[in-house]
Structure 1
């Protein structure tokens, strides 16, 4: 496998050299730094010089491989400018699995009460912190939670609400905007 004069490199080490002698499965190499070291056959890889490789691969074959390829088009990145208002949107997921560790044993009435209390608490938090908008994710379901949420939001004078962005949330979300007092 290895012969005297072969150029080799050592696996898992940054050592290159030339084979000096081969005895069984041990190979003595002279490193490029001038040291003689012994390695097992399975620790070495023979380095083929470029002349040997060119005899295996003709230049014509490699140029044919690249002929049909096109250079990828450069992508242009346009950074969208966002206003300060759009930087943070509070998203409140009202699915019961997100609100309690275990919903077993809870009646539908109790689940709805937990969801509505969470919605009220988050709505008050958003108003106190002067957030421009909140998105309540309620899901599609039978529409009971959405109806209750609409009833709750309708009791506030300083907010408007509508269905949230369909592309981002689907049908199961309501977007709430706060009218900030300008006194």
Structure 2
């Protein structure tokens, strides 16, 4: 069993997020989450955390070719759903499929990949156009548990970008 210290950063088994130890009471710990909420839990379900810096994440794209996603410090994973970007990644655009259908399909695959990689936040570049793709993504995520969508249009000098946050313990795959 771990020995914990006040102000130590910890996690709780089978839950997402980080907590800070506020008080040690025998077999119980008083923890505070990132949002300032406090709760008492058994010491046996609490784990110490260790920071691991990762600069490269391997994943497979939609056509099965292994690729590398290189992340700079503080940079979030993202998917660009513009037609040109999809074609550059090897997504085949068939005439019988509408472009919107392909974009939505790629978005769903990316969401599933983010859940598998335990990413809690990522960006979706949908463009500013008429807002049809953005609205379609909003509607998709509204129907599913564990997803929160925020406009992220000014950040990082990009336009037509949304930020998706996942609650990994609730997020449903597509």
Q: Where is the strand percentage greater, Structure 1 or Structure 2?
A: 2
Q: Where is the helix percentage greater, Structure 1 or Structure 2?
A: 1
Q: Looking at both structures, which has the greater relative contact order when contacts are Cα pairs under 8 Å and sequence separation is at least 6? A: 2
TM-score by length of 2: 0.49
Computing the radius of gyration over CA atoms, which structure comes out larger, 1 or 2? 1
TM-score by length of 1: 0.46
